[in-house]
Amino acid sequence: MSGEIDALLARTFPAKYGEMVISKGNTAFGVCPHHLLPVVYRISLAYIPTRKVLGLSKLSRLARLMARGPRLQEDLTHELAALLHENLDSQGSAVYVEGLHMCMAARGVGAHEARLITSAVRGVFLELATREEFIKLVTADQGRLL
C-alpha cells in the first residue's frame, strides 16, 4: 500500500455509529492493463464501523487513488473491500464497481454500451440480507455511467 493511501486511511474519527456507511457513485479513471486504454469507473463503497469512521471525503479519494494506473477491475474491487475491512477494523465492507472499458468500446468488439460489473464483500456483508441491502441502495437511481 502506498504512503498516500496509508495516510488517507488514518484519517478516522471515534464513533458510536454501527450502521452502514456508503459512498455511492464515485467516478474514477483507470487504465486497462492489457490494452493500455482508459477505463471509466463508477464505484460505490460501504463499511459498517466498529469504533471509528473514516473522514467523509476519504472514501471517494480512496476509490480514485486505487483506480489510477493499470489495474484489473476485479483486483481493484477486491483490494478496496479488503482495505475497508482490514484497515478500518470494520464489521464488514462491500464494494460495487461498474466499468466502461474503452478497450471494449473502441476496438473491434464494438461493445459501446457494455459495462463490466464487479462486487466484493467482507465480514457481515457476507450475510445475504446485508449484501442485498447494499446492492439495492447503490443501484437505485444510479443512471448511466456516461
Q: Is residue 146 part of a domain?
A: no
Q: Is residue 24 part of a domain?
A: yes
**3-class secondary structure, 88:** coil
Least confident of 9-18, 86-95, 115-124: 9-18
Q: Is residue 18 part of a domain?
A: yes
Whether the model pTM is above 0.75: yes
pLDDT in tens, 18-67: 999 999 999 999 999 888 889 999 999 999 999 999 998 999 999 999 99
Domain count, the chain: 1
Q: Is residue 44 part of a domain?
A: yes
Q: Is residue 145 part of a domain?
A: no
Among 5, 55, 42, 22, CA closest to 144 = 42
pLDDT at 127: 98
Q: Residue 91 maps to which CATH number?
A: 3.30.1130.10
- Rounded CA separation 84/95 (Å): 9
Q: Is residue 93 part of a domain?
A: yes
Helix (H) or strand (E) holding 31: strand 21-31
Mean pLDDT in residue range 73-79: 97
Domain carrying residue 55 = 3-139
Q: Is residue 144 part of a domain?
A: no
Q: Which three cell numbers stand for residue 69?
A: 494506473
